[in-house]
Structure 1
Amino acid sequence: MWNQCETYGELLQSFDEGYELCYQYDSMPHQYGKEILYQSEMHFLQAVGDNPSVTITVIAQQLGKTKSACSQMVRKLVKKELLIQERNEKNNREYYLNLTKRGREIYEAHKEFDEKCMQRTYESLTDFTEEELRNYISVQKALNQVFQKDVDENGVLEVAGKKKKK
C-alpha cells in the first residue's frame, strides 16, 4: 500500500509540474507574425476562424465562457482589427463574428504552429504503446472527475463576510 501512495504522490507532483508549465505558457504573450497575442485572444480567434459567422452566444458555449467575457474579448479583437462584427439582418440584436484579413493571416500562422507542436508532441510519445497511452487517458479522466468535484464543492468565495457563489 505504501508504494501505491508513493506512486500516487509522484503522479500528483508530475501533474502539478505539467499544470504549472501549461499555466506559464498560457499566461505569456505569443508572437504571431507582427502581432502579439495572449492565448485567450488566440483561442478566441481560432474559434471564430473555425466557425465563420458564429455568434457570441455560440462561441461562449463552445469556450465555456460567459457572454459578457466574450463581448469584452470581441471589443478587444475588433480594436486590434483582427475581428469584425456584422449585424444579422434578420435579428438586429445579433452579430456574426468573422476574421479580418489580418486576423485570418494570424489564424493560419497559428494553425501551422499548432501542427508543428502536435507533431513534436506526437514524436516525443512514440516510445509509448497504445495501451500505455490509453491507461494515461483513463487516469487523467479519473483525476478530472475528482478535480471537478473539488471545484463544485469549493466554489464559494468569502467576500466581506458574505458567501458568494463563483
Structure 2
Amino acid sequence: MNREEQVITGFRGLLNKIVRLNKFQMEDSLKGYKPSEVHCIEYIGKNTDPNVTKLAEAFYMTNGAISKMAKKLIKKDLIESYQKPDNKKEIYFRLTEHGKKVYEIHGKLHKEFQKRDKPVFEQISEEQFRSILSFIKSYNKHLDEEIKKLNTKSK
C-alpha cells in the first residue's frame, strides 16, 4: 500500500469508527431524524441567512435535493423560510423552536464525543497539530479544485 492509500484508508477507518461510536447515541437521542436532516439543521443553526444555494454548496448536493430536504424539514416544523424586506427574491431558512431543540441536542452530543476523544488530542504536540491541519487544508483545497472541474464539465 502506497502513502496515499495509507492516508485515505486511515481517514476512512477513522470516519467509520467515529460514525460507529456515535451512531447509537445519535439515533437514540434524535429518533425520527435522518443524519442529513440533523446536519442541515446544524448548518442552519450555525450560519447567518442560509439559503438553498449555501446549503447545496456546503453539502455538495444539488439545489433540487436541498429544496426537497428543506420542504421535509418545514413539514416537520424544524425550519421555516423567510425573506428579507429588501430582497423578496431570495428565500432563507431559520430554525423553529422545535428545530432549536434538535440543534441543542445535537450540539450536546458533539460535546460528549469531544470529551470522549479529548485524551487523544491532548497527547499530540502543537507541531503535529499544525502539520495535520496544514495537510487537511491542502487536501481540501485540492478536492475543492477537483469539484470545480467536475461541476464545470457537468454544465
Fold agreement, TM-score > 0.5:
yes
Other-structure match for 1:160: none
SS in 1 for 2:82: strand
Query: Looking at CA atoms only, which structure, 1 or 2, has the larger radius of gyration?
Result: 1
Which residue number corresponds to residue 85 of structure 1? 81
How much has 1:107 moved relative to structure 2? 0.7
Greater relative CO, 1 or 2 (CA 8 Å, sep 6+)? 2
CA RMSD of aligned residues (A): 3.8
Matched, 1:16 2:18: no
Deviation digits for residues 30-52 of structure 1 (CA, Å, limit 9, x no counterpart): 43746432222112111211235
- Inter-partner Cα distance in structure 2 for 1:62 and 1:148: 11
| Partner residue in 1 for 2:70 | 74
Task: Give yes or no for contact 2:26–2:106 (8 Å, CA) kept in 1.
Answer: no
2:119 and 2:110 map into 1 onto residues whose CA distance is: 14
Aligned length: 154
The alignment's TM-score, normalised by the length of structure 2, stands at: 0.70
Q: Which whole-Å CA distance do the structure 2 matches of 1:43 and 1:99 have between them?
A: 13
Identity of paired residues, percent? 23
C-alpha distance in structure 2 between counterparts of 1:61 and 1:148, whole Å: 11
Task: Flag the structure with higher strand content.
Answer: 1
**Greater percentage in helix:** 2
Paired letter, 1:45: I
Give per-residue Cα distances to partners, 1:2-26, cap 9 Å, x unaligned.
Answer: xxx7666544432332244467689
Query: For residues 66-121 of structure 1, what are the alpha-carbon distances to aligned partners after superposition, in whole Å with 9 as ceiling and x for unaligned?
Result: 33222111101011111112344444433331211111111111111112222322
Gap regions ≥5 residues in structure 1 = 157-163
Tell me the equivalent position of 2:154. 165
Counterpart AA for 1:140: I
Describe how 1:90-105 pairs up with structure 2 within 5 A: 90-105=86-101
Match of 1:131 among 127, 132, 136: 127
